[in-house]
Amino acid sequence: MEKYTKSGVKIPEGVIVVEALPQREKSMLDAPFFQEKMRNATERLKKTGVPKMEDLFPKP
């Protein structure tokens, strides 16, 4: 039987909705490569613009 959150989002099998995750001293934002990936993504997408999927995948 399919399960949904209170806001109506379908919960896939294996996903457990919790009130909160354990508090941690550090987050992904402090991970070695995460900020670099954020910078790379920002630079790429500001240079190219966010691609329009409807242009790249036109409907037949």
Partner 1 sequence: MLKYDKYDIESPEPFLVFEFKSEGPKGVISKQVRFEMIPGLDNVFNLGFGDLKSSGEINDIVVTDNNDGEKVLATVASAIFMFFDSHPESMVHIEGSTPARIRLYQMRIARHLAEVRDEFHVVGYTNGSWHPFERGINFSAFLVSKRNN
Residue ranges that bind partner 1, judged by CB under 8 A: 5, 7, 9-21, 24-34, 37-38, 40-42, 44-48, 50-51, 53, 56-57
Tokens found for residue 45: 């997408």
User: In this structure, are residues 10 and 4 in contact, taking their beta carbons and an 8 Å threshold?
Assistant: yes
- Residue 32 CB, shortest distance to partner 1, in Å, is 5
Q: Which residues contact 3 (CB under 8 A, 6 or more apart)?
A: 10, 11
